Amino acid sequence: MLAPAKLTAIEHAFDGIALLDKSGNYMYMNKSHANLFGYDNADELNGKSWQSIYTPAAAERLKKDVFPVLEKKGNWSGETIGISKDKKPVIQYISLTQLADGGMVCVCRDNSNAINANRLQYLMSNLGKGILVEDENHVVVLVNRQFCNLFQIPVQPHEMIGVNCLDSLQQSLGLFKDAEKVKNEIFSMMGKQEPLIGQEVVFKDGRILERDYVPIIIENTFKGQLWSYTDVTQNRQLQKSLVDTKNRAIASEKAKSAFLSNMSHEIRTPMNAIMGLAEQLSMTQLNEQQHYFVKNISDAAHGLLGIINDILDLSKIEAGKMNIEKEIVFLKDINKSVENILRPKAEEKGISFETDFDPKIDSNLFADEVRIRQVLINIVGNAIKFTDSGSITLSSKLVEEVNQTQRVLFTCEDSGIGISEEGLKHIFDDFYQEVNENNHRHNGSGLGLAITRTLVNLMGGKVWIESRKDVGTKVMIEIAFQMVGPDELMKDVVEFDDCGLIEGKKILVVDDNKLNRMLFAMMVKNMKGIPEEAENGLEAVQMISKNKYDLVLMDIQMPIMDGPTALALIIKTHGETIPVIALTAAAFKSEVNHLLNLGFADCITKPIDQKNLQHRLCLFFKTGSVKGKYYQSIHKKIVSNIAEMAGNEPGQIKKMMEYLLEEVVHALREWQISVPAKDWESAKRTLHREKVMVKSIGINGFDGLIREIEDDTVNKTESEMTLMFSQLIDLFHNLQTSIIQK
């Protein structure tokens, strides 16, 4: 039994002291011992096994490595890692003494903040880095095996202790690719005594090492330095491989885009001639057999064009370049155009085709008109293809209107051959077509529904199908559309085609394809216009310098001089007095927008028929260029936005107008220097400064143009850059005029 004085001393000792019986259970411990392991008092541990303060794995190691020594020598001391009440590691230094009755005394203290050589050596050995520590006299005090291996030092790490580092450096310099550079870097770092992390050094054998330098400074006194080297050769090779792979992918993507663009042009150009000439031929006096031949030529051409469109769309989707362009549309007009396009096909098969449009759907919604029409044509076209008798109905219903958003459900229901349960599982897969005795005769790419689902997803909607074999199919598409506020309505709708607008107009047709020139000239003559022809951009520029034209229809890809280059020369010589409409095989909206951004008054995509060309030319001569209509609305919107920003306070409005005018004048002055000099970096810096101002006053119609100018991933010709900046300069001149007038 311990005396009270001794017991008091033990109880208040700094070290943890504990008494264990021969079974290894706690009989007594002081408060320090209990607290070391996160317990409030000894009662929580008394009676429990010592193993309760260790993990099972740690307890097994102690039994295996420590207890045999304790039994043999009667005592043992060293570092162990226990576990606290809240399951955190407890690094402790303990002394164990075995008692005569088989029990033992344990004295321990917290060692978590102590760094001893053994622990440091253990950590260094398992770091995976080459580590060397030298003192202030450049004498090695610590080094690990990895360091010796990296520098091919043929001795054990402990044999390096006491060696002068500068002597070792001299011996190792021969390993480096640029020995003199490495030597200068090392002496520079030691002179500055500032940490430097992640510096690369290269060996002659091709290995790449990443070096860290850390000066050891204790109480403002330099005590030595630590060098750390990591072999990153494989990592750098992997990075290089990834970069090479990425560059190859980018090059492949550019080649793919170029291929698609060329394919679009090369295929659509003759298709335009075939379809156009077939249409013109059908308008002449033909006998029954000739009508039959012409109709089949036209049907085959349209079918082939549909497959071409599907393949080009799929390729664009796979490349991640299918964009949704939102503008103000009238869904009822889109429905009507789908009906007009497909009703003749349904009537040919003797199928009833009905449409139902909900009057509660708002007249003006933000949507991609081209893509909405495309998905509706896809689902109705499929319905006609797979229905031999009965009826087809296309309905558009308002599902919900919340927060200026309308959710619309489009449903196409047919009484056709239907789809099997197995077929429904794969119906949206690329190139999937259900083959059986009923539909083996139907041709197509098998891409229509796959593209439809992708487009609907891009528009934030969903599509699903219900079908029963030999009963019919119902395709449903639900999309949410943002409603248009009264102040955002800028779209003019022309609902008539007045050929009188075209009669007598002198129109220059520019195309390197002789058949296309002949076809467009024939169409213009049918509308009582006066066509003339040029086979390339240079010939067109020369003809414009000698003759007056009301309109130029110009192909984009031509030999000798292409469309954009010719347009730049026309604008430079004649300003914008001669409108130029692009004739292009571009299949994608982004490409059409690019042409409009270049300054073309409009863009007509090939192939085009007599009726559509008439509509587009009537629209142009009625309302002017797309850009012209935009400028007509922009002045009012700028003033309205500035007034709102200024709280309609006249003094503030005037100040903001003055600030805006300063920025406009600054931009025009800078561009007058940089654009003629083709200094595109300076021109883009000016644009970067002004684009925030452009957006803040609500001129968001030029966002696409600004993004295109700043996009360095797409190569642009000098002519294209000049044309795009000319659009901005034109915009800023209009702003200047508008501000001065106000």
The domain that holds 38 is classified in CATH as 3.30.450.20
Average pLDDT over residues 29-49: 91
> What per-residue confidence (pLDDT) applies to 372?
86
550 DSSP assignment? S
pLDDT-based confidence at residue 306 (cuts at 50, 70, 90): low
Together in a domain, 62 and 129: no
Q: Are residues 121 and 106 in the same domain?
A: no
C-alpha span between 14 and 35 (Å, rounded) = 11
Q: Which pLDDT tens digit goes with each residue over 82-110? A: 888 888 878 888 999 998 888 999 999 88
Residues 142, 223, single domain; the answer is yes
Residue 494 confidence (pLDDT): 44
Cβ atoms of 160 and 172 closer than 8 Å: no
Asked whether residue 395 is assigned to any structural domain, the reply reads: yes
User: Is residue 590 one of the residues assigned to a domain?
Assistant: no
Query: Are residues 99 and 125 located together in one domain of the fold?
Result: no
Q: Taking 50 as the threshold, does the pLDDT of residue 496 lie above it?
A: no
Q: What is the pLDDT, as a whole number, of residue 704?
A: 63
Q: For residue 229, what are the contacts with CB-CB under 8 A and spacing of at least 6? A: 129, 130, 147, 150, 151, 201, 209, 210, 211, 212
Q: Are residues 172 and 34 in the same domain?
A: no
pLDDT tens per residue, range 618-659 = 888 887 776 555 555 556 666 666 777 667 777 777 777 777
Cα–Cα distances (Å) from 110 to 11, 15, 38, in that order, read 17, 8, 12
Whole-angstrom Cα distance, residue 364 to residue 488? 10
Q: Is residue 31 part of a domain?
A: yes
pLDDT of residue 495: 47
Q: What's the pLDDT score for residue 733?
A: 75
Q: 98: domain range?
A: 4-110
Could you tell me if residue 503 is inside a domain? Answer: no
Q: Are residues 57 and 87 in the same domain?
A: yes
373 and 465 in a single domain? The answer is yes
Q: Is the pLDDT of residue 668 over 90?
A: no
> Domain check: are 367 and 470 in the same one?
yes
* Predicted confidence (pLDDT) at residue 412 exceeds the cutoff of 90: yes
pLDDT, mean over the chain = 80
Quick check: helix, strand or coil at residue 581? strand
pLDDT digit string, tens, across residues 186-245: 888 888 888 888 888 999 998 999 999 988 888 788 888 988 898 888 888 888 888 778
- Which amino acid appears at position 273 of this protein? A
**Which amino acid belongs to residue 200?**
E
pTM (two decimals)? 0.44
The domain boundary residue, chosen from 231, 252, 287: 231
| Structural domain total, the chain | 4
